[in-house]
Structure 1
Amino acid sequence: MKKSMLTIVGARLGMRLGAGLSLSSVCFALLAAPVVLAADVDFAHIETSGVSQIQLEPDMADLVVEVVVTDTTAKAAKDQSDAAVAKFIARLTAAGVAKTLIQSANLNLQPQYLYVQDKAPELTGYTASRQLTVTVQELSQLNTLLDSALEKGINRIKQIALKSSKEAQYVAQARQAAISDARQKAESLAKGFGESLGQVWQIRYYDQRPVQPVMLRMNAKADYAPAVAESYQYGQVTIEDRVEVIYRLK
């Protein structure tokens, strides 16, 4: 069946060769064109799309922090940034975070200049920066690790993305829910028009991942001293999926 569909597309493109299309452009069009368009389905059919959305509580997070240091020499800036990263990694491993859950980026070193009108730029120093990404598997550790990062010389919290350790399980569940949604819609439409639903003729599926992470937000109204943990508002992780199906009608 797929072979016949490609033949139809090829025939239509081949008729246009005389209008200025080259053979190479036809080959590219065959690769770039979708397998079938709705207009190419020449039999009675119903086309439906199934969607699903699952929300679940996060139980882990990806923490991205950065150290940015400016000093008069490149070596001094580099040494300070490296020291801050090393101290924080040591603190993480001491807290039980596996090294496989820690990713440290390479050094980014940039010269800094003072620009004054009608004068040549003056080199004033160097800025060194490094990022670390830490997968926190226990959300109860998050605030402690944030405090530790700041104590060890990390001076920027770039991002906190909440996630779920059960992502694969719920992705599969969302996919099945989208399939059921497409089937139920098709059955309802066929019944409403007095028709009978036949076999599936085509399935179009596009991977909806990655899962939408939720950025952790801080509640500005919370009192910092008595309840730091409660000042973080944990959102829900959203997993979505979608499938498109063409059914024959009997």
Structure 2
Amino acid sequence: MTAKISRSAAAAASAALAGALLAAVAALPAHAQSAPDAAFRATTLNLSAFGETKVVPDLATISLGVTTDAPTAAQALTGNAAQMNKVIAALKKAGIEDRDVQTSGLNVNPQYVYEQNQPPKLNGYQASNQVTIRVRDLSKLGQTVDATVSAGATNVGGISFGLQNPDAAEDAARLDAVKALQAKAELYARATGYKIVRLVSLNEGGGYQPMPQPMPMYAMAKREMSDSSPIAAGELKVRIDVTATYEVAK
């Protein structure tokens, strides 16, 4: 008998809870109940497009460095510092400002000689100092590279071209992207017998990113030449990707 009473009480409690939930739902504002239904009934187009503009770069970024070998780590570092100071002095003479020179790597490593069936033998130390520089006057780019090599830079790594201020190029690409998106939306709406009611959402992706270009490594030697190394900047593509949702109706 006790079990029957407990089950009846549980059933009554469940019924009361269900009644309370129904009452709470009924008390909700009409717009709160109809919003999901309205969203479900709406017909939408989810589309993507991009805009692209081409510009001439006005900034170059180069990685260059000095590598030295010596019997001891201290000697390797000392020789490397002396040689790198000459490179930095050449950069300043070429018009590169302090803000455009940044150390990107400094290492000293032991060097070993390996022979068959013999343990490795220490053969000295190698020190390397790598800096990244920005050249804002591209007409002097080749001369600047040559000056660093003549001053003692043993290698010149990757070079990339960019923009000092990409805002204008990005805005032009944005306008093209929105025009392409709008044209695509109107085409799809017209092809399916609908008309665009409103733009529901718009999202942006992509943007300006400088692209690195391959550049040969320079041998460790001073070069005497009448002309500077030819370096062509070409042009950059600035691309903006957009996605959007449009509501359409008959």
Say yes or no: TM over 0.5.
yes
Q: Find the counterpart in structure 2 of residue 92 from structure 1.
A: 91
Q: Please list the CA deviations of residues 93-138 of structure 1 after superposition, one character each: whole Å capped at 9, or x if unmatched.
A: 2333210111123421111111122221101011111111111010
Match of 1:44 in 2: 43
SS in 1 for 2:116: coil
Q: CA deviation at 1:211?
A: 1.5
| Deviation (angstroms), 1:146 | 0.9
SS of 1:87's equivalent in the other structure is: helix
SS of residue in 1 equivalent to 2:61: strand
**Structure 1: how far apart are the matches of 2:85 and 2:79?**
10
Match of 1:213 among 198, 211, 214: 211
Q: Distance in 2 between matches of 1:60 and 1:106?
A: 22
How many angstroms apart in 2 are the aligned matches of 1:152 and 1:102?
Answer: 16
Partner of 1:140, secondary structure, is helix
1:168-217 deviation line (CA, Å, top 9, x unaligned) = 221222123212211111012212222110212233333x1451425276
Whichever residue aligns with residue 213 of structure 1, its letter is M
Return the TM-score normalized by structure 1. Answer: 0.74
Identity score, percent:
24
* Contact in 1 for aligned 2:170/2:208 (Cα 8 Å): no
Looking at structure 1, the residues matched to 102 and 198 of structure 2 have their Cα atoms a distance apart, in angstroms, of: 49
Amino acid at match of 1:211: Q
Q: Deviations over 1:123-178 (max 9, x none)?
A: 10111111111110101111111111111111101012112223122122212321
Provide the C-alpha distance between the structure 2 equivalents of 1:217 and 1:123, rounded to a whole number of angstroms. 33
SS in 2 for 1:238: strand
1:178 matched residue in structure 2 = 177
Taking the aligned partners of 1:216 and 1:162, their CA distance within structure 2 comes to 11
Aligned CA distance change for structure 1 residues 148 and 98 (closer, same or farther; 3 Å): same
* Match in the other structure for 2:8: none
Alpha-carbon separation, structure 2, partners of 1:131 and 1:67: 7
Indicate yes or no: 2:159 matched with 1:147.
no
1:214–1:235: 8 Å Cα contact kept in structure 2? no
Q: Which residue of 1 aligns with 2:30?
A: none
Q: Select the structure of larger CA radius of gyration.
A: 2
- SS class of match (1:182): helix
Conserved in 1, the CA contact under 8 Å of 2:204 and 2:240? no
Task: Please give the TM-score of this superposition, normalised by the length of structure 2.
Answer: 0.74
When residues 179 and 107 of structure 1 are mapped into structure 2, their CA distance, relative to the original with a 3 A threshold, is same
Distance in 2 of aligned mates of 1:84 and 1:98: 19
Residues 51-200 of structure 1 aligned to structure 2 (within 5 Å):
51-200=50-199
| Structure 2 gap ranges (5+) | 1-38, 217-223
**Is the aligned partner of 1:234 residue 2:230?**
no
Instruction: Flag the 1:151–1:112 CA change in 2: closer, same or farther, 3 A.
Output: same
Alpha carbons 2:143, 2:228 under 8 Å: kept: no
Q: Residues 226 and 77 (structure 1 numbering): CA distance in 2 closer, same or farther, change over 3 Å?
A: closer
Query: Equivalents in 2 of 1:84, 1:194: separation in Å?
Result: 73
**Letter matched to residue 188 of structure 2:** L
Residue by residue over 1:57-81, the C-alpha shift from the partner in whole angstroms, topping out at 9 and shown as x without a partner, is 1222111111111221111111122
The aligned amino acid for 1:185 is K
